A and B are shown apart, each in its own frame.
Chain A
Amino acid sequence: MSTSESEDSTGLLRTVLPPNQVDRVFDFCGENGWKLLALGAVVGALPPLLGLEQGYYMTVVSEMYLFAILALSWDLVGGQTGYPSFGNMAFFGLGAYVTAILVKDFAVAFPVALIAAGLLALLFAALIGAVVLRLRGHYFAIATLGVLLAAQQISRNLDITGGASGKILLQVPSGTVFYYLFFGVLIAEMALIYYLSNTRFGFILNAIRDDEEKATAMGFNTTYYKTAAWMLAALFTGVAGGTYSLFNTFIDPQTAYNGAWNVELIAMALLGGSGTVAGPVIGAFGLHTLIEFVETAFVGWQLVLLGGAVIVTVIGFPEGVVGTLREYASEMAYYERGGMAAVDSGEDTEVTADE
């Protein structure tokens, strides 16, 4: 898709959009992150106030927020910490079922049920994390996928979850409530991750991603930090799942523990640029819009497209939008900022490739 485009037209791109311009945009965003986030919060809060209350587009936008939450949560562990989970939807499903059961069977108020869903997802993550976070690479990925499928099977067989037919929830708040709920959670999560990414905690997560053994040799108990990130991701994913069960008015094992969604949110994070705050959100908005379009135009083909999109992204575009732009922006910076001066004395003129 965009790969051939960016490769063929680099010459043109350079004149229209020089790297240092892009670099300046990044600097601007870096310096004004909080202001940009606040601006986004205001803009996002407007539509319902302007009278756009119900209907198809509000639903689609709410879903965009939902996927942004999921992608950002995945990225906290997958992109920032380097533990790519194929089982995040387990937290989503758990949150969805806890909320649905509490609201429907125990007549618990929705907000209370939602908090319970988040906390239970957090607790579940602590337990599962103690097991799976000891694994790396293939083993971690497959073990998390196993957790997801086991959770799906269990909910299919229990009575309290309604078995394979799931649960139908009829008394639900209006669409505007869900719009603000998804949006509020998203903004809160973005703010939190943005803040954390500039703290020591955030640095340690990145260090674990880049070289966990070195991080240990530097005195960091990595288990502690990656478990914390994993639990935080579970909290947001669980709350999103809880909100979704009522938003969707229906929940069954297939929707709650949706393996395809798990791949979808990874693709979103990757497409936008993993390891950043804006990347997963951009990716979620972009890919969801595309999938929504395909779903309307060619019913039933959206998952074929998803598979294709994942393959194209990974093969041609693994750094994502933000990552690719950042690389582009910084290609001159190394030399401008004294890279050459520093190596003048020696022969190490080449920049070490990191791919």
Chain B
Amino acid sequence: MSETTEPDARTAAAATDSDRAVLRTDGVTKRFGGLTAVDDVDVEVQKGEIVGLIGPNGAGKSTLFNCITGTLSADEGRVYLQGQDVTDWPEYKIARAGLGRMFQETRIFGDMTVRKNLLLAAQEGGANVGSLLRRPDDTLIERTEELLDYVDLGGLAETRAGRLSFGQQKLIEFAMELMAEPDLLLMDEPAGGINPSMLENLIEYIRTANEDEEATIFLIEHNMDFVMEIADRIYVLAHGERIAEGTPEEIQNDQRVLNAYLGRE
């Protein structure tokens, strides 16, 4: 394991472990006026893991996500992606560094065809002018076919994405992330608003992506069955603070978690 130069002396002890971490936050704090939405939160996601983030409404889960992606800037604390301090980077640059994100309300480009949505997501070539001005090559187009077949939306490549149902759009958004192959994928309530049978499929797709393509996933979820089934580890937030961390079994038996959900302090 290479010793990446980390100027922060405090982290030196945990260097090996931290450097392997795809994502690490160190004391991230975000305040809105007098309200501390995220309070000194440390999380860590290792390569190949599926990590869940749960907590009652208003616990600060989405705010933590926004601080990680750079949509919001944290008031205190640092965010490291692949060992690199990305805290003050602009949002687009963090994304380009390997962070993918699926939104709670599902966001795709409605007036573009499904295929263009996927082609756009491919990160190949990045922002260099040459690749911007070339037409997408055949390998990329084949890859879009492959991924669309994979999520059972094979025939819809030329359909306007906005015409699809909510569940289908969710799958397209997921396929876009597979196309992009981010080092870490943040998913905000992937199970929200889709019907049970589609949820079954989604679990399977996420699993396969995790096992076959080594996708690393950090997800917010309210659907407990879903998160307990899919996550390797879970963090629990309440009132902006991290109150528990552990395997699904540990979390299910944790008194503090139960209290937080039942509203006891």
Contacts and interface: CB of A to CB of B under 8 A. Distances in A.
Given A210-B111, A275-B111, A343-B168, A219 B92 contact: yes
Contacts of B93: 219, 221
B128 to A, nearest CB: 10
A316 B217 CA distance: 46
Interface string B105-119: 001111110001001
Contacts of A336: 155
Interface residues of A, number: 43
A218 B135 contact: no
A112 interface: no
B169 A352 contact: yes
Contacts of B160: 330, 354
A200 B132 contact: yes
Interface stretch (B44-52, B95-103, B233-241): B95-103
Contact of B197 (A222, A333, A346): A346
B159 A337 contact: yes
Interface in B111-167: 111-112, 116, 119-121, 123, 125, 127, 131-136, 152-156, 158-160, 162-167
Kindly list the 10 A-B residue pairs having the minimum CB-CB distance in the complex, ordered from nearest: A338-B155, A219-B95, A348-B165, A354-B162, A219-B96, A210-B109, A337-B155, A214-B107, A201-B132, A203-B120
A342 interface: yes
Given A219-B96, A339-B159, A342-B152, 6 more contacts: A199-B134, A333-B159, A338-B156, A342-B156, A352-B163, A352-B169
B73 to A, nearest CB: 14
B180 interface: yes
B120 A199 contact: no
Interface in A296-355: 330, 333-334, 336-339, 341-343, 345-352, 354
B90 interface: yes
B111 A209 contact: yes
A222 B109 CA distance: 14
Interface in B165-224: 165-169, 176, 180, 194-195, 197-198, 201
B19 interface: no
B29 interface: no
Interface size class of B (residues with CB under 8 A): 35 or more
A158 interface: no
B16 interface: no
* Residue of B71, B119, B159 with most chain A CB atoms under a 10 A cut-off: B159
B37 to A, nearest CB: 19
Nearest to A220: B92
Given A216-B92, A219-B92, A346-B198, A352 B164 contact: yes
Contacts of B127: 220-221, 224
A216 B95 contact: yes
* Residue of B103, B123, B125, B127 with most chain A CB atoms under a 10 A cut-off: B127
B69 interface: yes
Given A199-B135, A201-B133, A210 B110 contact: yes
A217 B133 contact: no
Interface in A180-232: 196, 198-201, 203-204, 206-207, 209-211, 213-222, 224
A354 B164 CA distance: 9
Contact of A218 (B120, B154, B156): B120
Contacts of B164: 339, 351-352
Contacts of A352: 162-166, 169
